[in-house]
Structure 1
Amino acid sequence: MTKRSYSDHLELPCGVGLKNRFARSAMTEALADVDDAPNKAHQTLYERWSYGGMAMQMTGNVMVDKRYLERPGNVVVQDESVLNVLQDWARAAKSGGSQVWMQISHPGRQCPIVVHTRPLSPSAEKLRILGLFGKPTAMTSEDIQDAIQRYATTAAIAKKAGFDGVQIHAAHGYLVSQFLSPITNQRKDDWGGSLENRAKFLRKVYAATRAVVGKDFPVAVKLNSADFQKGGFLIEDSCQVARWLEDDGIDLIELSGGTYEQMSFVNGTEERQRDSTIKREAYFLEYAREVRHAVSVPLMVTGGFRSVAAMERAIVDDGIDMIGLARPLCVQPDAVAGILDGLVEKIGIEEDGLVIGRGRFGVNARNWFINLVNTVSRVEYYAWQMNRMSRGLMPQTDARNNAVGYFLWYLNRTTFLGLRRKFARKS
């Protein structure tokens, strides 16, 4: 059998090698209990994935500050009180031969109101989605310095616990992304205004992280290719930020896109949604080509890959270094092993049953509420599969036709876990 490009070894600038070109991209597991610590469920889930053939798996959002979560159920690492359970998680995640990197993040204004009513953000621009998010407080200079140090502290603990690398989450509308976007960063000081000022927070976070983990430890950034919102972060901005990160010494840039208000990382870009022939496969690849021309640092692209042919073309023709897979590995955890063995040509499932807007609902792609239900139902279907695997069960891929049910599961689960956590912290 002819060796394919995705089987190739990749050496990162820091000197660490990856055994092939596949990575499991981050998806929020929401498996932590009221103590915000990883547990047996994390070990079971990541051990299952560790035998799936990929070179590296990225954890879901690990928060740097207990006060602010992306959702209840996030793991929080802000001190060494969780070191022992982190070590158990890392060992399990590596037991089958993959590396495990910790994605470190702060939600900024994308913190649900059940967690905090006044989250922090660069500016006080509210996220208006069903009243689920409170009005943010604009960060002071002290808040900014505190947040930068928290990223570094979490990264240092991750390394001590046995994780093989860290990724700074600077995409999807979370705090770093909020600093980068002129929509959410309307500051008049040195942290806002020009792109150079707006990128300062990310570069300071990277510098502080690199200082504590050393030059031989992989540090990656997940970066938006664009916000896909008028007046937001553009592909030209992404190329320039990537250049600065390369100059600073970054090891890997993962490209994605969108925010909670424009969830392209779930639904694909608007252009791909209109193109029925492409069917939204690899929907950030066209943006990645532009970033590839701007930098030589290793690039990872996540979002929409389903056919092995498209993955091979991305590596050979477009110069992409890593293929990031997320949703397909929630329903086919061994998909990469099958690809590497030449047994699989296409992965993932048809998602028609995860959306409404057909049949008795009618076609209503412009209705914001239906779009919201569809987006959340897609995310939560895969969260439900992760929940099953964390209990030692297999994915259940024949249970797709319940979009509203997955949407309600998200609301109920988030509210329940949030209230439990809040009462536990008060007691």
Structure 2
Amino acid sequence: MIHPADPLTLPCGVTVKNRLLKGAMSEALGTRDHAPRPELSALYARWAQGGTGILLTGNVMVDAHALGEPGNVVLEDEQHLAEFHGWAMQGSREGAALWMQLNHPGKQAPRGLNAQTVAPSAVPFGKGMERAFATPRELTVSEIHELSARFAHSARLAQRAGFGGVQLHGAHGYLISQFLSPRHNVRQDEYGGTLAGRMRFLLETFDAVRAAVGPRFPVSVKLNSSDFVRGGFSEDDSLSVVQALGERGCDLIEISGGTYEKPMMMVNERERGGFFADFSRWARAVAGVPVCVTGGFRDSDTVRGALATGAADVVGLGRPLVTDPHFSARLLRGEEVCSEVRPLKTGLGLLDGSGYLEIAWYEDAMRRLARGEQVRAGEAPLPALARMSAETGLAAVFRRRRALI
């Protein structure tokens, strides 16, 4: 029986201090030239002091010409390595392991954000999303190889900056996820067709990252259990990918699900009890390496239950750590903790029908945490939306709102 306070030794030999992980959440705290803003150091110092074993950053992009949203941080060269080092040191307090999540959006970037978007295939998003996302250009084989090298180079830079590990974002409809999906990847070469072809980019990128950082540095992958759309990446596909990653010695496979087309990861945040826990139990049976399940965990009973019943080796926490950055410490002390995550409503249909309202609320809340403030669940969302609009500009707000309807 696994307990939340139990340490975990990863396949690479690194030991993390407990079985709790802070899941990646978009902070949008990059400067105009995509360096980490000082607020990131303050925010992650606060989370590190809150007792969680592994802290995953939000998206850090591997290419400044391929942003997923305004405010993205980018790590592609040494220009801002000092700022990244400061972030790494603050986020590693109290023995926390700060891991950088590396990502490329592929075609899942709002129109107007990048000069062009690329993807495995020149397949547009489905009806209703064409206003938000442009039809991408298909990547060439040489560009695919270059992208694997980019992930590897960014991972090596993260290691040099002092981060304790990296995670490749292969979920939620971003580039790696697009390669895995037969809905978005219709290539007929070695990077498409069968699942073996569709997972080639992920596996080659994993191998390139491992070669860049060496055998004793944690390399994790975030993977969808399913895309939850007809013709997309299925649970059977996912189990096969989990097995392949396990055979390569992936240090931690984090299970999630959904894309912007079917945002189950956002629906999940409104549910209680771990929406993907059943699938993660199956994944754990075939992986042979540690498995994490994230989302829907609101209270101590469901966290302890997921670990005790074998649903996962690690439980990921997201929004509860925003409204209570010491949630993990309290749970580890044996307290009965419960975090209320309520749907946010303004009464304005155009806003309430969009996933952007909640994203804006939590991005604003993270800024307040970085300033040392206390955040309460259920606070009025309109002031948060106004503050984020003033910071990012209305054009950015409308682009992201359209993309997240």
Q: What is the TM-score normalised by the length of structure 2?
A: 0.91
Corresponding residue for residue 223 of structure 2 = 223
* 3-state SS in 2 of match to 1:301: strand
Task: Measure the CA separation in 1 of the matches of 2:170 and 2:96.
Answer: 24
Could you list the per-position Cα deviations for residues 199-244 of structure 1 after superposition, in whole angstroms to 9, with x for gaps in the alignment? 0000010000000100000000000000010111111111000110
Could you list the per-position Cα deviations for residues 6-49 of structure 1 after superposition, in whole angstroms to 9, with x for gaps in the alignment? 11011100000011100101111001110100121111111111
Corresponding residue for residue 424 of structure 1 = none
Task: Measure the CA separation in 2 of the matches of 1:131 and 1:415.
Answer: 20
2:280 counterpart of 1:288: yes
Corresponding residue for residue 232 of structure 1 = 232
Shift of 1:350: 3.8
Corresponding residue for residue 389 of structure 1 = 369
Shift of 1:380: 2.1
Pair 1:4–1:339, CA change in 2 (3 A): farther
2:335 counterpart of 1:335: no
**4+ long deviations beyond 4 Å:** 369-372, 405-419
Corresponding residue for residue 140 of structure 1 = 140
Corresponding residue for residue 266 of structure 2 = 266
Corresponding residue for residue 423 of structure 1 = none
Pair 1:137–1:130, CA change in 2 (3 A): closer
Task: Measure the CA separation in 1 of the matches of 2:291 and 2:63.
Answer: 28
Structure 1: 5+ residue runs without aligned partners?
274-278, 362-368, 420-427
Could you list the per-position Cα deviations for residues 74-125 of structure 1 after superposition, in whole angstroms to 9, with x for gaps in the alignment? 1100011111111111011112331100000001011122321421111112
Could you list the per-position Cα deviations for residues 308-364 of structure 1 after superposition, in whole angstroms to 9, with x for gaps in the alignment? 111111111124110100111111111000111122332x22413x147xx897xxx
Match of 1:326 among 315, 318, 321: 318
Corresponding residue for residue 364 of structure 1 = none
Number of residues paired by the alignment?
A: 395
| Aligned pairs for 1:18-417 within 5 A | 18-127=16-125, 128-129=128-129, 131-268=131-268, 279-346=271-338, 348-352=339-343, 354-355=344-345, 372-373=353-354, 375-400=355-380, 402=382
* 3-state SS in 2 of match to 1:81: coil
Pair 1:94–1:229, CA change in 2 (3 A): same
Structure 1 vs Structure 2 CA RMSD:
2.3
Task: Measure the CA separation in 2 of the matches of 1:260 and 1:372.
Answer: 14
Pair 1:198–1:412, CA change in 2 (3 A): farther
CA contact (8 A) 1:71 1:414 kept: no
Could you list the per-position Cα deviations for residues 255-311 of structure 1 after superposition, in whole angstroms to 9, with x for gaps in the alignment? 000001111111129xxx8xxxxx542001111122122222100000101121111
Task: Measure the CA separation in 1 of the matches of 2:389 and 2:143.
Answer: 30
Pair 1:217–1:268, CA change in 2 (3 A): same
Task: Measure the CA separation in 1 of the matches of 2:69 and 2:171.
Answer: 16
CA contact (8 A) 2:273 2:296 kept: yes
Corresponding residue for residue 276 of structure 1 = none
Q: What is the TM-score normalised by the length of structure 1?
A: 0.87
Matched to 2:330, the amino acid is G
Task: Measure the CA separation in 2 of the matches of 1:407 and 1:228.
Answer: 29
Q: Percent identity?
A: 39
Shift of 1:377: 1.9
CA contact (8 A) 1:299 1:321 kept: yes
CA contact (8 A) 2:23 2:56 kept: yes
CA contact (8 A) 1:114 1:415 kept: no
Task: Measure the CA separation in 1 of the matches of 2:131 and 2:45.
Answer: 37
CA contact (8 A) 1:43 1:92 kept: yes
Corresponding residue for residue 402 of structure 2 = none
CA contact (8 A) 1:227 1:262 kept: yes
Shift of 1:129: 3.1
Shift of 1:411: 7.0
Task: Measure the CA separation in 2 of the matches of 1:406 and 1:376.
Answer: 12
Structure 2: 5+ residue runs without aligned partners?
398-405
Task: Measure the CA separation in 1 of the matches of 2:364 and 2:104.
Answer: 23
Pair 1:124–1:315, CA change in 2 (3 A): same
CA contact (8 A) 1:164 1:217 kept: yes
Pair 1:411–1:201, CA change in 2 (3 A): farther
Could you list the per-position Cα deviations for residues 169-218 of structure 1 after superposition, in whole angstroms to 9, with x for gaps in the alignment? 00000000000001111111111110000000000100000001000000
